[in-house]
Amino acid sequence: MYQVPNYTQIVSMTLSEVLADIGVDERMILKRRRTWLLIESLWNINNQILDEKAVLMHIFGSQSEGTTTNEMDSDIDQLAYNKTINVIQDWSDWIPGVLNLLMIQDNSVSPGYCLLQRLRDDVPLSANGDSDQYFFKDRTGKLFLKNSVVYICNSDSEIHGPAGVLKGQPGYKDLDKVFALHCTTWPQQARQWLDQQYEGQWPSAEMQQYCSRTGCFVVCVGCQGSKHEHLEWRISTSLAERCLMFNLNITQIRCYVLMKVILKAYITPFFQDVISSYMCKTVVFHCIANTHSNIWRKNNLLSCLTQCLYLLYTNIINENCPHFIIPRNNLMRGKISPAVKPYILEILNNIINSEGVALLGIKCDYLGFRLHAKFNDLSSIKASDFISEGLLLDLDLGKSFTLTETCNLLKDSSPNEAVEKLKNYILKAFYCQYEGLDKTASLLLLPLYCTTLGSVLASCNICQYNTVSADALKLISLGLNTDVASSKLKLASILYCVQKIQKTDLVLSEIESRYDLQIVKPVCFCYQFEKKLFKQGFCQLCDNYNEEVLQYTTASCVKFLPCEIHCVPIELRYEIFRSTQEDRMFRTKNDEWMDFAVVDSLPYLYFLRYKVYSHLGRHDLKQAALFKLISTIKEEPNLGHRETALNILGKCMEQEGRAGDALYCYLMSLNVRRRNNAAKIHICILLSVLINART
């Protein structure tokens, strides 16, 4: 049996325990993967429902692999592609009536890259035409697609290689959006890999066979220094690599995470963009494939890490890191200059020879401190609660994004148009036979569509008949449990608008009984602002459950479209008209929520409580609700629409006859958001009333 020295075993086991404490264990890795694959399903299903020719996407990299930690600050790698573009490697795959592109992979193209030749869409022949902003015509008359076609990037993105990088604000992850094209067949340059047998019997023949069915992507970036750099497209086997990552054991994953942490601590601060985490992943793949599987055990983690670092060291010496699936593609080509090479080699050599001591100097996730504490029998805090909290909020963000996309498509629609569109969306979602995570995603989306449709119908009913139909109420009821409060508050708002005060009171009482302030977290993703994350009860529930806990732990902001205006109390309707023509000049495309009436759940709960108790003549309870509204605005750090909460508080103060306090609320609201704020309207109305009263 394979033996390891006692020192190596002790360090390896201690290191394994520390990595488990910071969330690199089987449970948290599976939780990360489930969350991000579910977000991927949410976005794709929503896109398919809203537009049959939609761009589809995958989330690759550290987040969906589960190979990151809280402080590694990994971004979100999103690859998007248009399914209507047909990229082929064989003429027999040509399809009439669509854009067909033939992958050219001859000796004139860099290894791991290809050219995309345009074909005619009526017959399988080369297309004719002249060079333009999209295509280049060579001397033989063939048209090739330029890799500068990156429509996925927007004006708020930095261009970074093939990616558009959307910089996150504090509390948010950066998003790398890569535009690619999908080819359903396995790349010619990688076909030899399918027959390759490795010493470690990994990957297995079954894994290789599965990978061959994933096809490949071509990404819009050429090989640096190539004569065809502006025309070359990089071949990506990301789906196959995801399969490989999902078939690693925990020690292999920890080894990869440690390599990334070492890179972040010792190399990247001094030599940025020289050695990438993808190179580290490739090195780990090669090591696993060429060593026996019994080497990769928890008590041998340090030796495995040393072996991987040594292979990386060798690759840097040779300036050659062969792609795992397309070995002729050298990932280090043109990356390492002679000036920096000796310094990187010296750093790696010192880390390798330190026999694990270098890990004590790593600050990321307090890895070094935690190791020191473990060696001295001191306890350390486990990070699983914090990780689970962040993952649930990431999932809620993904769900909120889909609702926002739907709302943006409906915001300019008449009530009747909105009803027809929503019915169509619901029918599409209902009749699609989803399985696995796609089914889970559809079950998260359908209630949101149903509640929105019910609310639009209710608005039509109130406008015409001053009542609400049974159909509208039934649809709303299908989405009441999307979270703790927002959908129920829509129902309460509708009942209040038709003067069903007793029923409104019952709904509000149920919401307040379920809204545990120690557990429930207000969530708003209308715009980016730094959120205070930690709530002990919230974190514990997040850690113990998956997406099903959203309905018990989160309270989203309440959104009303313009076509839902009759479901909104008069005090809140002004929010739909918050923007003057001048204000609109200062809005970005991410500010479309400003065309809705949007309010955080908890302030809206207490506002409706105040209005209901006013109608019921319950002065003591009315004042209690007013006090809770004031306290919430002052003390809850996670309100996304504090200015709106101050505006409705100002309307309450007006009702109380406290004009000075109302004016103060509106001015405070303007301090929160200077432009695109309905407080300006409220101030004008209030001053007009005061002036007329004096007159």
Q: Model confidence over 450-462: pLDDT tens digits?
A: 999 999 999 999 9
Specify the residue for token string 């639009």. Answer: 456
Helix (H, G, I), strand (E, B) or coil at 218: strand
Share of the chain above pLDDT 70, in %: 95
CA distance 222 to 565: 51
Contact between residue 32 and residue 70 where contact means Cβ atoms under 8 Å apart:
no
What pLDDT was estimated at residue 506?
98
Answer yes or no: is 48 within a domain: no
Q: Of 247, 279, 301, which residue constitutes the final position of a domain?
A: 247
CA distance 64 to 186: 22
Answer yes or no: is 123 within a domain: yes
Regarding whether 410 and 299 lie in a shared domain, the answer is no
Regarding whether 347 and 215 lie in a shared domain, the answer is no
Q: Which position has the higher pLDDT, 2 or 298? A: 298
Regarding whether 254 and 243 lie in a shared domain, the answer is no
Length of the chain: 695
Regarding whether 261 and 145 lie in a shared domain, the answer is no
What pLDDT was estimated at residue 107?
87
What pLDDT was estimated at residue 173?
65
pLDDT digits (tens, 9 = 90+) for 367-387: 999 999 998 887 778 888 889
Regarding whether 217 and 266 lie in a shared domain, the answer is no
What pLDDT was estimated at residue 68?
95
What pLDDT was estimated at residue 51?
75
Specify the residue for token string 């529930």. Answer: 541
Angle between helices 642-655 and 659-672 (to 10 degrees): 170
What pLDDT was estimated at residue 53?
62
Answer yes or no: is 53 within a domain: no
Regarding whether 504 and 370 lie in a shared domain, the answer is no
Mean predicted lDDT score pLDDT of the chain: 91
What pLDDT was estimated at residue 302?
97
Q: How confident is the model at residue 265 (pLDDT cuts 50, 70, 90)?
A: very high
Regarding whether 301 and 427 lie in a shared domain, the answer is no
pTM to 2 decimals?
A: 0.91
Chain-centroid distance, C-alpha 613? 41
Regarding whether 648 and 537 lie in a shared domain, the answer is yes
What pLDDT was estimated at residue 162?
46
- Report the range of poorest mean pLDDT among 43-52, 54-63, 591-600: 43-52
- Report the range of poorest mean pLDDT among 157-161, 298-302, 486-490: 157-161
Phi, psi (deg, nearest 5) at residue 626: -65, -40
Regarding whether 370 and 343 lie in a shared domain, the answer is yes
What pLDDT was estimated at residue 217?
96
Q: Token pair for residue 612?
A: 């209901």
Answer yes or no: is 86 within a domain: yes
Answer yes or no: is 41 within a domain: no
Contact between residue 462 and residue 535 where contact means Cβ atoms under 8 Å apart:
no
Q: How many domains does the chain have?
A: 3
Regarding whether 398 and 356 lie in a shared domain, the answer is no
What pLDDT was estimated at residue 161?
44
Q: How confident is the model at residue 14 (pLDDT cuts 50, 70, 90)?
A: very high
CATH, residue 283: 1.10.1410.40
Closest CA to 220 of 171, 248, 178: 178
Q: Of 363, 382, 401, which residue constitutes the final position of a domain?
A: 382
Answer yes or no: is 515 within a domain: yes
* Dihedral angle, C-alpha 450, 456, 461, 467, nearest 10 °: 70
**578 burial class (0-12, 13-18, 19+ CB within 10 angstroms)?**
buried
Q: How confident is the model at residue 151 (pLDDT cuts 50, 70, 90)?
A: very low
pLDDT digits (tens, 9 = 90+) for 327-341: 999 999 989 999 999
Regarding whether 547 and 437 lie in a shared domain, the answer is yes
138 residue type, one letter: D
Specify the residue for token string 């990616």. Answer: 163
User: Is beta strand 76-82 parallel, antiparallel or unpaired with respect to 55-60?
Assistant: antiparallel
pLDDT digits (tens, 9 = 90+) for 663-692: 999 999 999 999 999 999 999 999 999 988
Specify which of 128-132, 254-258, 390-394 reaches the highest per-range mean pLDDT: 254-258
Q: How confident is the model at residue 342 (pLDDT cuts 50, 70, 90)?
A: very high
Answer yes or no: is 315 within a domain: yes
CA distance 86 to 119: 10
CA distances from 82 to 48, 79, 86, 274 (A): 12, 11, 9, 32
Peptide bond into 124 cis (omega under 30): no
Q: How confident is the model at residue 281 (pLDDT cuts 50, 70, 90)?
A: very high
Q: Which helix (H) or strand (E) element contains residue 38? A: helix 26-50
Q: Of 247, 268, 294, which residue constitutes the final position of a domain?
A: 247
Specify which residues 556 forms β-bridges with: 523
158, pLDDT greater than 50: no
pLDDT digits (tens, 9 = 90+) for 580-616: 999 999 998 889 999 999 999 999 999 999 999 999 9
Residues contacting 285, CB < 8 A, separation 6+:
244, 324
627 residue type, one letter: F
Angle between helices 26-50 and 250-262 (to 10 degrees): 80
CA distance 562 to 564: 5
What pLDDT was estimated at residue 199?
79
166, pLDDT greater than 70: no
What pLDDT was estimated at residue 55?
82
**Mean pLDDT to the nearest integer, 16-26:** 96
Answer yes or no: is 301 within a domain: yes
Residues contacting 258, CB < 8 A, separation 6+:
15, 19, 301, 305, 359
pLDDT digits (tens, 9 = 90+) for 540-581: 999 999 999 999 999 999 999 999 999 999 999 999 999 999
Contact between residue 365 and residue 326 where contact means Cβ atoms under 8 Å apart:
no
Contact between residue 104 and residue 117 where contact means Cβ atoms under 8 Å apart:
yes
CA distances from 525 to 121, 168, 593, 641 (A): 43, 13, 10, 10
Q: Which helix (H) or strand (E) element contains residue 559? A: strand 558-560
Q: How confident is the model at residue 4 (pLDDT cuts 50, 70, 90)?
A: low
Regarding whether 513 and 392 lie in a shared domain, the answer is yes
Specify which of 47-51, 271-275, 509-513 reaches the highest per-range mean pLDDT: 509-513
CA distances from 256 to 312, 354, 373, 485 (A): 12, 18, 23, 42
**Owning domain of residue 322:** 1-24+249-382
